[in-house]
Structure 1
Amino acid sequence: MKKLIMKCADERRRAFAMITSVWEDDGKRFVEKCAVRKEGRRHLENMMRYRTLLDEIYPGVRVCPAKLTEDGLVFDFIEGSSLEDRYRLAASEGDRDALVLYMKSHAELLDSVPGGTVPFEETDSFREWFGDGSVYAGKPAYRAANFDATASNIILQDGEPVFIDYEWVNEFPVPRDLVVYHAIRDSYYHIPELESLLPLAEAIALVGVETEKEVLQRSYEHFFFSYVYGSDSDAGLSALTDRKKIDYLANERTLLAERMWKENERAVLVQRSEIDRLTKELEEARKKYADLDQSWFWRWDETRDALQKFREENAALRESLRLMEQDRDTWKSNFETVTNSRSYKDMMKLKGILGRK
């Protein structure tokens, strides 16, 4: 079994810090999401509950199967292209009409909840996730929604949409404008060139969002910075007198970043070795292809097909290598950022002071 891709979100709150990996075992791929810390187990259990809810509120969308194991949550690997791929293609080709079509289809998918919308009423759960909701009072709202239904989390398989990740599902009423805004806005973070093709302000108007963008962005930022990435209840440095706590806080993220960097580095080396092997086979196949007497057409055709297969495998491996190197460089940068940060140096200084007592 080999790891193909790994992404880590350890900078989140302890309850939400996750590592997501794509594995391949005997030719079959699967996705595993594991909690970085023990507090994250509940988040994984919630996702199993979310899956059941999504089946109910989006009957026209398939939800990626998952099973909870002792180690984490294991998902099927869904083959196909993402809706974000369609957005990206439209941007690269400068096809505004196609982009508008994709975005409207995206919004229609979110609107497909049975029973349509209800007037929004603020709840405690909404305030916890998004902050003050009084500005949305009476606006159209979904009774429940998949706030994680971004274009990157929707795979089109045989023409049908599939939700492949569902970490953030609202089990309470949430304004329709906020859900649609987030779904569309997320792609502009990942594909900056969308703005020049179709400005975000125009895009959200085209999909029926009427609430002011500044209001929606404020709610989104509360969710992102306060709910997902907000600080936990760990005491500040001034209250830390326990040497073990200082060791823990000073080293935890550093060690994790270093471990992930090294693990990605090993994966890169394995992938490079595989590419070298395949490149040699590709050269041998190319030589055979060039030497063939083309009157033996069936042999020529057979070798040509084999050569094309080698090319495709080589291209896939190189793309996988690029992603691995990107992850490795990210974790190396994280490691260097943490160890060079003022807070880390302050903790190490305090650790040294306490150690001399």
Structure 2
Amino acid sequence: MREIIFSKYSNERDRRFAIRTDILEEDGRRWLEKTPLYPEGKGHIENMLQWNQKLDALYQAVPFVSNKCETGEGCVKLEYLEEENLAEYLDDLLEKGREKEAEQKLTEYLENVQKIHSQKPFSMTEAFERVFGKVTLPENLTCAEIMNIDMICDNVLLTSPYTILDYEWTFDFPVPCEFVLYRIIHYYIQTHSVRRALDEEGLYGKFGITEEARESFFQMEKSFQAYITGRHVPMREMYADMTPGVQYVSQTNAGALQVFFGEKRGCYQEKNSVKRYMIAGNARCTLELPEKCRFIRLDPGDVPCSVRLDEISFDGKSASLKGVETPDGAIFGYWAFLARLDPCIADIPVPAGAKTLTVRLEICEENVDMLNHVRVLEHKNHSLLQKVGNRAKKAARRIKKSSGGGKKKGN
């Protein structure tokens, strides 16, 4: 007897892309079915059949195959596989302290992805702009005739050859190969703490993904997520209307940490700064310091927030935060509470001879009134402020746990 043993609704999307994924079992055999939730989604599901065939043709040069797909009754059927995925395999290596092996394995996968997706020069089209926006991109990017942009490590099963799952986000117009590589690196390293043992900057450099390119790809990703959502308003964005008068702490999904390098206290210029984009409120980076840099300013996004200061260090030694500037804010212990738009922690002194700066932060968006009260409490009652910090930390952990650690991709 046929039985549904698991269902997942991807319904926080535009009607064209809203689907249900079922795992079914009959006589000991399991398979997956993807079914459109609305008539408008029929074409999106049917496209998976042609993507299956075209991707297999593309993958002939590398040890990949796409998950088998066939027509069902109002759905597509896919093979059910239980092998370990690449993300799980890499996590296991990292937990055992085998960072070099993990980086080598990830690099090998990235090289194969690059091999099949760098067949010709990239050129922007109207179809590209409809999905990824009118973004300014670096020159000399590459692409292929067909592009599966969602080849993240979670979608790679370690069969022989590797099986690529979930190829619904495949496009038959040019998309930069470097964007696909960026998504693989970014969504692996930035969605789990154990993965930050890998050299993210080194991986970007190895594949020619410059800081300029990453800024452009971040904008592409935002446009892509908006394309998936369309006119649909996710319930998470209705919270304020559904619960008037309720204040809450929410972990920001994306944004930028901007690091300014100054030669003098209070003197910072845009041209002497770098940006590092973050997912699920996490910012992690190690930066080389300019020769004449004497002070650092950190701008954690654009809105009022509380910031868990996991690490600010120079050459591995913790920075001194005594006397730093936090306009409309305060630092207490490992937490900074910043109550203004364009928040910052400024005038962090750079020790003489320091070569590198390492920053690890966790950012939570906050209510401005609450933050202003916290700033006053810093002068009145340290124990009460510590309680507020602990509550913010617990709230951030609850949110992170309930959301699975951040937005992985288009759901």
TM score, norm. by length of structure 1? 0.60
Q: Which residue matches 2:195?
A: 194
In the alignment, residue 145 of structure 1 is paired with which amino acid? M
> Aligned ranges for residues 1-357 of structure 1 at < 5 Å?
1-59=2-60, 60=62, 61-113=64-116, 116-157=118-159, 159-195=160-196, 197-210=197-210, 211-224=212-225, 226-231=226-231
Residue in structure 2 matched with residue 305 of structure 1 by the alignment: none
Sort the Cα spacing of 1:84 and 1:97 in 2 relative to 1 into closer, same or farther, 3 A.
same
- Compare CA radii of gyration and give the structure with the larger one: 1
Count the aligned residue pairs: 233
- Residues of 2 paired with 1:22 and 1:188: CA distance? 29
The alpha carbon displacement at 1:137 in A equals 4.0
8 Å contact kept, 1:155–1:161: yes
Name the aligned partner's letter for residue 42 of structure 2: R
Could you tell me which runs of 5 or more consecutive residues in structure 2 were left unpaired when the two chains were aligned.
234-241, 243-398, 404-411
Q: In structure 1, list runs of 5 or more residues that go unmatched.
A: 234-249, 251-329, 335-357
Distance 1:122 1:12 in 2: 25
Q: CA deviation at 1:43?
A: 0.4
Hey, what's the Cα distance between the residues in 2 that align with 1:208 and 1:188? 18
1: CA distance, partners of 2:17 / 2:222: 16
Q: Tell me the SS of whatever aligns to 2:137.
A: helix
Contact 2:135 2:219 in 1 (8 A): no
Matched letter for residue 154 of structure 2:
S
Deviations 1:66-108 (A, max 9, x none): 1122231110112422111112212322321122112212212
Q: Deviations over 1:50-70 (max 9, x none)?
A: 112102221132222111222
Distance 1:70 1:230, change over 3 A: same
More helix by share: 1
Specify the SS of the correspondent of 1:135.
Answer: coil
| Residues in 2 aligned to 1:32 and 1:97: alpha-carbon distance in whole angstroms | 38
Q: Do the aligned residues in 2 keep the contact of 1:147 with 1:183 (CA within 8 Å)?
A: no
DSSP-derived class of the 1:113 partner: helix
Kindly indicate whether the alpha-carbon contact (under 8 Å) linking 1:201 and 1:213 is maintained by their aligned counterparts in 2: no
Q: Is the 8 A contact 2:17 2:41 kept in 1?
A: yes
SS of structure 2 residue aligned to 1:81: coil
Measure how far apart 1:126 and its partner are: 1.0
Relative distance call for 1:212 and 1:138 in structure 2 (3 A) is: closer
Partner Cα distance (1:90, 1:32) in 2: 32
Which structure has more relative contact order (CA 8 Å, sep 6+)? It is: 1
Q: Percent identity?
A: 24
Larger strand share, 1 or 2: 2
CA contact (8 A) 1:120 1:136 kept: no
Q: How has the CA–CA distance of structure 1 residues 208 and 103 changed in structure 2, closer, same or farther, with 3 Å as cutoff?
A: farther
SS at structure 1 position matched to 2:78: strand
TM-superposed deviation, 1:190: 4.0
Q: Is the 8 A contact 1:155 1:163 kept in 2?
A: yes
Alignment check: 8 A CA contact 1:86 1:102 kept: no
Matched residue, 1:323 = none
Distance 1:2 1:52, change over 3 A: same
Matched residue type, 1:63: S
For 1:144, the aligned partner's letter is I
Distance in 1 (alpha carbons) for counterparts of 2:7 and 2:15: 19
Deviations 1:166-214 (A, max 9, x none): 111121111121011112222235434312x125333322344235322
Residues 126 and 133 in structure 1, CA contact (< 8 A), matched pair in contact too = no
**Distance change >3 Å, CA 218–CA 200, structure 1 → 2:** farther
Change (3 A) 1:75 1:8: same
Q: Matched residues in 2 for 1:71 and 1:171: separation?
A: 24
